[in-house]
Amino acid sequence: MTIYIDECRHKKGIRFYCHMMTDQDDLEELHAMAKRCGLNARWFQDHPAHPHYDLTTSRRRRAIRAGVKPVSSTELVTRCSYLFKNDPVYALDVQDENGTTPAEVSDG
């Protein structure tokens, strides 16, 4: 299982946030990584399509040092969102900034 994190691009108040997600349906390792990174379990966002943790810039750096793989936001959603994992047709319409489709990301 791999844990991924995107760029801090989402602003809430005065801070920028990113998302930490897993590519597996079992969230146990995601929660274990969150604990290792000092995240509060209450920060978990149990979204049906993409369960995740929101992290600030400093916590993102800590997560990367702990072994979380940094990826683009497009790749994060492609690899981790239940919409993409369960509906390949939905995923065909999306390309990242390099023109890569979700199928190409999954294969590589």
> What pLDDT shows up at residue 106?
46
In three-state secondary structure terms, 36 is helix
Taking the model in full, what pTM does it have? 0.73
89-93 mean pLDDT? 47
Tokens standing for residue 74: 């497009």
Domain borders along the chain are 3-107
Q: How confident is the model over 60-83, as pLDDT tens digits?
A: 999 999 999 999 988 888 888 765
The confidence band for 25, taking pLDDT boundaries of 50, 70 and 90, is confident
C-alpha Rg value of the chain to the nearest Å? 14
Report the distance separating Cα 44 and Cα 31, nearest Å.
8
